[in-house]
Chain A
Amino acid sequence: METIRFGNVTFSYPLSDSPALDRVTFEVHPSEFIVVCGKSGCGKTTLLRHMKKNLIPYGRMEGSVTYGSTEVSALDDRRNASEIGFVQQNPDNQIVTDKVWHELAFGLESLGLDNRTIKRRVAEMASYFGIQAWFRRDVSQLSGGQKQLLNLASIMAMQPKLLVLDEPTSQLDPIAASEFLQTIYKINRDLGTTVILSEHRLEEAFTMADKVLVMDRGRIIAYDDPRRIGRLMSGNGDNSRHPMFYGLPSVTRIFYSAGGEGESPLTIREGRLWIDEEMRRTGKEPGKGIPLWQKGTGKEEKPRKIKDPAIHMENIWYRYDRNSQDVLRGLTMDVEKGQLFCILGGNGVGKSTTLKAIAGIVKPQRGKIEVNGRLAMLPQNPQALFTEVCVEDELLEVLHGEKGTDREKVEKVVDMLRLMEIEHLRKAHPYDLSGGEQQRLALGKVLLADPEVILLDEATKGLDPFFKITLAKVLKKLTDAGRTLFMVSHDIEFCAEYGDCCAMFFDGGIVSAGPPKEFFPGNNFYTTTANRMARDYFPEAVTWEEVAKCVGDSI
């Protein structure tokens, strides 16, 4: 018997013309791992929310959603609470108590279990999830990844049979995201819990899924094995591709773009083996890389001299207080005008501190920072900027103290709406926008102050692949207009594809820097999926399109 089953479900929100779900029919079998993907606003969240009784959105609904043999909307409250677990996007908003152990026990307290039983279950969960080391901590001391793991553990303590996760990793950095997905996979394998997961980062999720469900405008357009999804999305050639194709994992995209047939590889390992096989068939030898034992030139790489840089930093040293360690250690860097400059690196190496130092929020103890031109910074959470009730007013608010007639101001606002491609949303409330739209509204707000240098903090966090493409276009327009963008990011793929210059940040300074074409081939681990897959044959190909072209040409 299936776990959950949608029978011809059509759903529309009040005051909306088009249905959010359109004749959706599918079923999920026990212990399956289902990945749901699609553009933002395609109905993923609406679909997932129909699986949990208290989260079913308000609106007009036809058809039926059944869990086991009962309608979800008629489920017993206790059963609904314990058997169906739901994890949402934002790690912070889901935590309600002050201590880790209390949060773990929250659901069990609701069910009215006695102290002894709760203790036992909590102990089990803490051990399974590796929480025991921070069991008695305050939740405010946890990292984002730990918080989301705690949310998951708190739900797993109620021993659900069905686990629904709505983009749980969108607010996490790549390492925490990967760890979180591995944990879900482990739950699915170890306990047989049915998992339904919506995700933007499909690289990893695809390798775990039994089936992938692709949605577009409220409809299910594909529900199949992950190896066959690429075939369905790629159509017959470049023009007939479904837009969702660009959201698939790089390995799959490269496979079909290069003319691969049949079932696609999913992991980098499979991708490499496939390229190996194809190359052997065409008789191409792997290129000779520089062997590890060969010494470098021994000369220190001199950073290229840039005339008239937008940002100039020289020998910056900074620590937060007297007795702590240095966060920035002799950071020296020049950023050329009119470029998108990307800083990559792990957590806690001093990337955000660098931004703060440039913005003048922290004052370095030693060194010199010069910024040529007006400076503005886009914070990580766009909500930190929103004050008004609609998008238009939000932009107009920046011009409040400026000179000029109202007419000129309105014109400026309209221009900005067009530049950010959010004209259709001018009357919407900022909080009703999706993550990508909020990001662009915030950017628009920052831009109205007419800065020449813009600092971006994790601008692609939580965005789906399509919004990233739109954002990249907007950023390109800005650099073409001579503005300088300085971005701190975890998103290797984005920086490789759209950055003009990338730099690796480590231990309080820049280790290596250069245009993506020189920067990434020089790295072994810290490089794009596409590059890792094909580096033996095409070391200079960095983005998936380049790799697909190289492979396609030689087959």
Chain B
Amino acid sequence: MFKDGIGESSEFSGFHPWVNLIYYILAIGITMFSLSPWFLAATFVLSWTYSVLLKGRGTVKLNLIFSFWTLVLMAVINVFFTHEGVTVLFYLNDNAITMEAFIFGLSAAVMLVSVIIWFVSFNVVMSADKLIFIFGRAAPVLGLTLSMIFRYVPLLKERFAEIRMGQACLTGNQKKSRIARIRQFGKELSILVSWSLESSIESADSMEARGYGLRGRTSFHLYRFTKRDLLLLLVMCGLGAVVITGAVMGKTTVWFYPEYVLRRFDLMTGLTLGAYVLLLALPILIDISGEVRWKRSGLAM
């Protein structure tokens, strides 16, 4: 289960695209506005957990490298360019290197890394189909355009491979200078363009023959909004409301300059943090319970 990740077959992916989308809007949106260490820690840990759960062990290394360098770079760069703050660590060429600038750089970096790692799992959950569906709701043409792009990318790749082979057969596989190779590549690209333009006339005919351009086009999809979608949506909205209230009350913010001030951890902060953690962990809980159910049904057989 953890080797290759659950992937697209995850239980949470099976929910309606709107539910998936709203989850990510909440998760990423709130992450972007909270720099308090509690909240940063929560979003950082959970984004990591979910991406590894979906994509497997292979993604750990990639995430690590990426997180490490972003953290180092941002913390260091901020220290060198911002000299505000009261706690001076040392001077470099008469410039104050402050503790506050370092903490701000670090917090901002953690926030950025979390957002980007949220997108790792977003890519798995929000498959092309779901994006097409969501854009298709906005305007049918938009959804169709997206769908056509996903159709033509593999087609062009295939065609290019064929052209490459044809040209290789014509010219033989002799070694060539770099300029000759670039020329050859240009030629292959030009063949691809003229071939594709030519065939797009037929595609246009085929679209028009099937009534494309008539007024009132709809956008077909295979999704159904069921009771469990509604339930999850309500839970998410409830938790989201709590977190947003907390954020409005200033429970998720901190002050960096001139001095780093962390507010007292009161009841409301605890409540907001609890709701936030639960909200972010929802897909993880859903996916793990889904996996467990699969294991059980496997044993029962």
Please report A residues at the B interface, Cβ cutoff 8 Å.
Answer: 52, 54-55, 77-78, 81-82, 85-86, 88, 90, 92-99, 101-102, 105-115, 118-119, 122, 138-140, 151, 154-155, 158, 356, 359-361, 374-381, 383-387, 398, 431, 445-446, 449, 455
Evaluate contact between B206 and A96: CB separation under 8 angstroms.
Answer: yes
B129, CB-defined interface residue at 8 Å? yes
Chain B residue, CB-CB nearest to A398? B170
CA of A140 to CA of B157, assembled, Å = 11
Evaluate contact between A112 and B147: CB separation under 8 angstroms.
Answer: no
CA of A98 to CA of B172, assembled, Å = 35
Chain A residue, CB-CB nearest to B151? A98
Can you report 7 residue pairs joining A to B where beta carbons are below 8 Å apart? A81-B210, A86-B209, A107-B211, A109-B144, A109-B220, A118-B218, A379-B165
B168, CB-defined interface residue at 8 Å? yes
Q: Give the contacting residue for A387; candidates B169, B187, B205; CB below 8 A.
A: B187
B194, CB-defined interface residue at 8 Å? yes
User: Contacts of B208 on A, CB cut-off 8 Å?
Assistant: 54-55
Evaluate contact between A98 and B128: CB separation under 8 angstroms.
Answer: yes
With contacts A359-B169, A360-B173 taken as known, whether A55 is within 8 angstroms of B211 at the C-beta atoms is: no
Listed stretches B117-125, B195-203, B270-278; interface member: B195-203
Evaluate contact between B220 and A119: CB separation under 8 angstroms.
Answer: yes
Chain A residue, CB-CB nearest to B159? A384
B222, CB-defined interface residue at 8 Å? yes
B162, CB-defined interface residue at 8 Å? yes
With contacts A154-B210, A381-B162, A384-B166 taken as known, whether A109 is within 8 angstroms of B218 at the C-beta atoms is: yes
User: What distance in Å separates the Cβ of B195 from its nearest Cβ neighbour in chain A?
Assistant: 5
User: Contacts of A97 on B, CB cut-off 8 Å?
Assistant: 144, 147-148, 151
Evaluate contact between A384 and B162: CB separation under 8 angstroms.
Answer: yes
Chain A proximity mask over B124-135: 1 for CB below 8 Å, otherwise 0: 000011001000
B140, CB-defined interface residue at 8 Å? yes
Evaluate contact between A139 and B205: CB separation under 8 angstroms.
Answer: no
User: Contacts of B187 on A, CB cut-off 8 Å?
Assistant: 387
Q: Give the contacting residue for B218; candidates A77, A90, A112, A431; CB below 8 A.
A: A112
B191, CB-defined interface residue at 8 Å? yes
Evaluate contact between A384 and B167: CB separation under 8 angstroms.
Answer: yes
Chain B residue, CB-CB nearest to A54? B208
B9, CB-defined interface residue at 8 Å? no
User: Contacts of A108 on B, CB cut-off 8 Å?
Assistant: 220
User: What distance in Å separates the Cβ of A44 from its nearest Cβ neighbour in chain B?
Assistant: 16
Evaluate contact between A93 and B202: CB separation under 8 angstroms.
Answer: yes
CA of A346 to CA of B154, assembled, Å = 26
B81, CB-defined interface residue at 8 Å? no
User: Contacts of A55 on B, CB cut-off 8 Å?
Assistant: 205, 208-209
Chain A proximity mask over B254-291: 1 for CB below 8 Å, otherwise 0: 00000000000000000000000000000000000000
User: Contacts of B220 on A, CB cut-off 8 Å?
Assistant: 101-102, 105, 108-109, 115, 118-119, 122
Please report B residues at the A interface, Cβ cutoff 8 Å.
Answer: 128-129, 132, 140, 144, 147-148, 150-151, 154-155, 158, 162-163, 165-173, 187, 190-191, 194-195, 198-200, 202-203, 205-222
CA of A278 to CA of B217, assembled, Å = 63
Known A113-B218, A140-B155; further 11 A-B contacts with Cβ < 8 A: A81-B210, A85-B209, A96-B207, A109-B140, A115-B218, A115-B221, A356-B165, A379-B165, A385-B167, A386-B195, A449-B172
Evaluate contact between A376 and B221: CB separation under 8 angstroms.
Answer: no
Evaluate contact between A140 and B216: CB separation under 8 angstroms.
Answer: no
CA of A82 to CA of B210, assembled, Å = 7
User: Contacts of A86 on B, CB cut-off 8 Å?
Assistant: 209
CA of A374 to CA of B211, assembled, Å = 52
Evaluate contact between B147 and A78: CB separation under 8 angstroms.
Answer: no
The residue in B162, B207, B218, B221 that gathers the most chain A C-beta atoms within 10 A of its C-beta is: B218
CA of A90 to CA of B198, assembled, Å = 12
User: Contacts of B199 on A, CB cut-off 8 Å?
Assistant: 90, 92-93
Q: Give the contacting residue for B203; candidates A93, A140, A381; CB below 8 A.
A: A93
Evaluate contact between A385 and B170: CB separation under 8 angstroms.
Answer: yes
With contacts A381-B162, A384-B162 taken as known, whether A111 is within 8 angstroms of B211 at the C-beta atoms is: yes
Evaluate contact between B144 and A384: CB separation under 8 angstroms.
Answer: no
User: What distance in Å separates the Cβ of B250 from its nearest Cβ neighbour in chain A?
Assistant: 45
The residue in B128, B162, B165, B195 that gathers the most chain A C-beta atoms within 10 A of its C-beta is: B165
With contacts A96-B207, A101-B222, A154-B210 taken as known, whether A383 is within 8 angstroms of B191 at the C-beta atoms is: yes
User: Contacts of A386 on B, CB cut-off 8 Å?
Assistant: 191, 194-195
Evaluate contact between B158 and A114: CB separation under 8 angstroms.
Answer: no
With contacts A115-B218, A361-B165 taken as known, whether A140 is within 8 angstroms of B147 at the C-beta atoms is: no
User: What distance in Å separates the Cβ of B148 from its nearest Cβ neighbour in chain A?
Assistant: 6
User: What distance in Å separates the Cβ of B140 from its nearest Cβ neighbour in chain A?
Assistant: 7
Chain B residue, CB-CB nearest to A90? B202
Evaluate contact between B129 and A384: CB separation under 8 angstroms.
Answer: no
User: What distance in Å separates the Cβ of A137 from its nearest Cβ neighbour in chain B?
Assistant: 12
CA of A518 to CA of B206, assembled, Å = 47
Evaluate contact between B217 and A98: CB separation under 8 angstroms.
Answer: no
With contacts A102-B220, A105-B220 taken as known, whether A140 is within 8 angstroms of B170 at the C-beta atoms is: no
User: Contacts of B167 on A, CB cut-off 8 Å?
Assistant: 384-385
User: Contacts of B169 on A, CB cut-off 8 Å?
Assistant: 359, 361, 376-379, 446, 455
User: What distance in Å separates the Cβ of A407 from its nearest Cβ neighbour in chain B?
Assistant: 24
With contacts A90-B199, A97-B144, A105-B220 taken as known, whether A110 is within 8 angstroms of B212 at the C-beta atoms is: yes
Evaluate contact between A81 and B147: CB separation under 8 angstroms.
Answer: no
Chain A residue, CB-CB nearest to B163? A384
CA of A24 to CA of B219, assembled, Å = 41
CA of A98 to CA of B129, assembled, Å = 9
User: Contacts of B151 on A, CB cut-off 8 Å?
Assistant: 95-98, 139-140
CA of A138 to CA of B147, assembled, Å = 11
User: Contacts of A94 on B, CB cut-off 8 Å?
Assistant: 202-203, 206
User: Contacts of A151 on B, CB cut-off 8 Å?
Assistant: 206
CA of A361 to CA of B167, assembled, Å = 11
User: Contacts of A379 on B, CB cut-off 8 Å?
Assistant: 162, 165-166, 169
CA of A113 to CA of B140, assembled, Å = 13
User: Contacts of B155 on A, CB cut-off 8 Å?
Assistant: 92, 140
With contacts A105-B220, A119-B220 taken as known, whether A98 is within 8 angstroms of B166 at the C-beta atoms is: no
User: Contacts of A112 on B, CB cut-off 8 Å?
Assistant: 214-218
